[in-house]
Structure 1
Amino acid sequence: MRSVVVSIIQQAPIHLSLNESLEKALHYGNEAAKKGAQMIVFGETWLSGYPAWLDHCPDVALWDHEPVKEAFAKLYNSSISIPGPEIQKFQQLAKKKKIVICLGANEVRKTGKGNGTVYNALLTINADGQLVNHHRKLMPTYTEKMLYGQGDGKGLKSVDTEYGRVSGLICWEHWMPLSRQALHDSGEEIHVAVWPKVHEMHQVASRQYAFEGRCFVIAAGQMMRVKDVPDGLKLPDHLIGKPEEFLLNGGSCIIAPNGKFIMEPVFDREEILMAEINLDDIYKERMTLDVTGHYARDDVFDFKVKRKRKV
């Protein structure tokens, strides 16, 4: 039996504070490894926080609005570069603890072309400490376009790791049929789905992905409170005076290749979530559906992926 113990770190980062978030991530990564985790997942832009204020603060789309420009500057300054010292810390942790780490992060290029653009990135580090995949979200969703640049197809693939073949998508990339097919074609066994929060429709997307791809899905949600909204941004009336109310409340879950929950969604609490999966279950389910094999029609459809990095 090829079993893997997976963990989701459903803990809030220190919003837009890179050093404090890094310290917290490494702490909980160590704690999960002590509990026996072999693969550890952090949610969308965990380092250093998802900009949920885009969905709640009424003035964010005003042109030349100084509070939003200041919030963007904080987002930029709390983002990581790749390669860089922050990602090296995760590489060292992965190698020391013999764990695979999947990390959502805000990323910037600090030098050269495109060094004013932030990318929504998903990084996969193998148990030997090597960064084996670096994916940038293809299409920022709705208001995210004010903050993030478009990614590319370079990271749109599955990679071999110590504990199975791993792929990943970010948020609404799961509604892009060709993104899904690209990863299915690359032979995934474990799929990492990172979200701001895994509410009902995101559960639908995650379960559908598991069923379609006949793979395990690790769906990781974020935690964020009203008090984490950057200073200067106007709150809607229903959030004023409620600093501890959740804007993002987790919902992390783990789904089997038949689309059923192995671990039901967990909301409204911060913790290290753990579950064991058996990779042999994948191939039992592919008897009836294999969208890369007997349920594919290469004689009817042509499909290719351009895997060139933009910048």
Structure 2
Amino acid sequence: MEKKMTVRAAAAQIAPDLTSREKTLARVLETIAEAAAKGAEIIVFPETFVPWYPYFSFVLPPVLSGREHLRLYEEAVTVPSAATDAVAAAAREHGVVVALGVNERDHGSLYNTQLLFDADGRLILKRRKITPTYHERMIWGQGDASGLTVVDSSIGRLGALACWEHYNPLARYALMAQHEEIHIAQFPGSMVGPIFAEQMEVTIRHHALESGCFVVNATGWLTEEQINSITPDQGLQKALRGGCMTAIISPEGKHLAPPITEGEGILIADLDMSLITKRKRMMDSVGHYARPELLHLVMDGRATQPMVGSAHSFEANTGTKSDGQYDVSADRDADQRVAVLRSQAR
């Protein structure tokens, strides 16, 4: 595939529908079409945008959160499903890469999941936030390092992190070491106040500078009516305003368009991919500016599983023999591979 020299990127700051997955999904599909009509080749949506970010868990005590938590279960997205098929079809129809945050339901658990669809509609990445933050730990399970993967797409190499994962330097370094070219960042927005937006801006601009890549960041928006529906307490409502910083950042740490900090809108900017080499010529954190013989990252990228050894397990994944006996050599071999990677890094 010929390398693209210019990519038109879009980041959507829009409000979900807090009553229905299908209504929020309709907003997503409309926004994909609108961005594509403006020439966008990639569009990024906010964190867990479908069906909605669990704002209730930030302002309600756990004892009062049960009803909303159960409702989130009912409206959450399974992968694959009709909801993901609809997004895939829109990506394929409009020829645009789509980065969508969803609440993913996997049987009895919810996860903060980032989905990347290529321009042909293929799902090329599904990753789960490795550590939910603060109130989120009451809502979502933990992901694993199998999702810390940079993937090739029609527009370049893409990596993704959600919200305060950007404060985990090793998670960021894992993507940097895989040479991401466009980094997808997603935050909830409409939370905490102006300081959240200020911190977010510092964080995404720093990642762009340190990794030498573009960052496309999307945050969500809540209307006053929606804020009132989450809590009537005016004191608590203050925690559901501000904190929006939908932005597109160059490898030189510059805004490529004025960020959206209030209201709804689609931010669009053209990415000059030659700026990646321009930045890395001066400072390549995983190349000529690295000292791997002194400092290096060892990552266990295996997907975690709650059980091994069942007669019905997949042999290729778990090492289970056809007679139902677990073959410990499978785990031993995997551990040896990690050890080899560690020794090679040294």
TM-score normalized by the length of structure 2:
0.81
Query: What SS is found at the alignment partner of 1:12?
Result: coil
* Structure 2 residue aligned with 1:99: 96
Cα offset for 1:100?
A: 0.4
Query: Is the strand fraction higher in 1 or 2?
Result: 1
Cα offset for 1:225?
A: 3.2
The question of whether the paired residues in 2 share the 8 Å contact of 1:214 and 1:290 is answered with: yes
Structure 2, unmatched stretches of 5+, are: 190-195, 306-346
* Amino acid across the alignment from 2:292: D
Answer yes or no: is 1:308 the counterpart of 2:311: no
Listed as ranges, the matches of 1:104-253 within 5 Å are 104-109=101-106, 115-197=107-189, 199-228=197-226, 234-238=231-235, 247=241, 250-253=244-247
Q: Distance in 2 between matches of 1:194 and 1:248?
A: 15
* Amino acid across the alignment from 1:216: F
Q: Distance in 1 between matches of 2:295 and 2:73?
A: 41
* Amino acid across the alignment from 2:255: F
Cα offset for 1:302?
A: 3.6
Cα offset for 1:16?
A: 4.7
The question of whether the paired residues in 2 share the 8 Å contact of 1:16 and 1:74 is answered with: no
* Structure 1 residue aligned with 2:314: none
The one-character-per-residue Cα deviations of 1:3-62 (angstroms, maximum 9, x if unpaired) are 01111121111025101111111011111111111101101011111122333x2x423x
- Determine which structure has more spread, i.e. the larger CA radius of gyration: 2
Listed as ranges, the matches of 1:249-264 within 5 Å are 250-264=244-258
The question of whether the paired residues in 2 share the 8 Å contact of 1:13 and 1:48 is answered with: yes
Cα offset for 1:199?
A: 0.3
* Structure 2 residue aligned with 1:5: 8
Q: Distance in 1 between matches of 2:242 and 2:141?
A: 23
* Structure 2 residue aligned with 1:46: 49
The question of whether the paired residues in 1 share the 8 Å contact of 2:200 and 2:245 is answered with: no
The one-character-per-residue Cα deviations of 1:222-241 (angstroms, maximum 9, x if unpaired) are 1123533596x65433367x
**Comparing both chains, which one has the higher relative contact order based on Cα–Cα distances under 8 Å and sequence gaps of 6 or more?**
1
Q: Distance in 1 between matches of 2:144 and 2:240?
A: 32
Cα offset for 1:187?
A: 1.1
Answer yes or no: is 1:290 the counterpart of 2:284: yes
Q: Distance in 2 between matches of 1:79 and 1:125?
A: 18
Q: Distance in 2 between matches of 1:9 and 1:159?
A: 22
Q: Distance in 2 between matches of 1:182 and 1:229?
A: 37
Q: Distance in 1 between matches of 2:231 and 2:86?
A: 36
Query: Is the helix fraction higher in 1 or 2?
Result: 2
Q: Distance in 2 between matches of 1:53 and 1:263?
A: 32
The question of whether the paired residues in 2 share the 8 Å contact of 1:224 and 1:248 is answered with: no
Number of residue pairs matched by the alignment: 296
* Structure 2 residue aligned with 1:76: 73
The question of whether the paired residues in 2 share the 8 Å contact of 1:222 and 1:248 is answered with: no
Q: Distance in 2 between matches of 1:211 and 1:50?
A: 29
Q: Distance in 2 between matches of 1:165 and 1:265?
A: 24
The question of whether the paired residues in 1 share the 8 Å contact of 2:216 and 2:249 is answered with: yes
The question of whether the paired residues in 1 share the 8 Å contact of 2:197 and 2:242 is answered with: no
Q: Distance in 2 between matches of 1:238 and 1:226?
A: 14
Cα offset for 1:267?
A: 1.5
* Amino acid across the alignment from 1:139: T
* Structure 1 residue aligned with 2:85: 88
* Structure 2 residue aligned with 1:60: 61
The question of whether the paired residues in 2 share the 8 Å contact of 1:225 and 1:248 is answered with: no
The question of whether the paired residues in 2 share the 8 Å contact of 1:37 and 1:274 is answered with: yes
Change (3 A) 1:216 1:127: same
The question of whether the paired residues in 1 share the 8 Å contact of 2:96 and 2:119 is answered with: yes
Query: What SS is found at the alignment partner of 1:73?
Result: helix
The question of whether the paired residues in 1 share the 8 Å contact of 2:40 and 2:268 is answered with: yes
Q: Distance in 1 between matches of 2:51 and 2:243?
A: 16
Query: What SS is found at the alignment partner of 2:281?
Result: coil
How much identity, in percent, do the aligned residues show?
33
Q: Distance in 1 between matches of 2:10 and 2:75?
A: 25
TM-score normalized by the length of structure 1:
0.90
Query: What SS is found at the alignment partner of 1:123?
Result: strand
The question of whether the paired residues in 1 share the 8 Å contact of 2:12 and 2:246 is answered with: no
Cα offset for 1:301?
A: 2.4
Query: What SS is found at the alignment partner of 2:28?
Result: helix
Query: What SS is found at the alignment partner of 1:154?
Result: helix
The question of whether the paired residues in 2 share the 8 Å contact of 1:189 and 1:282 is answered with: yes
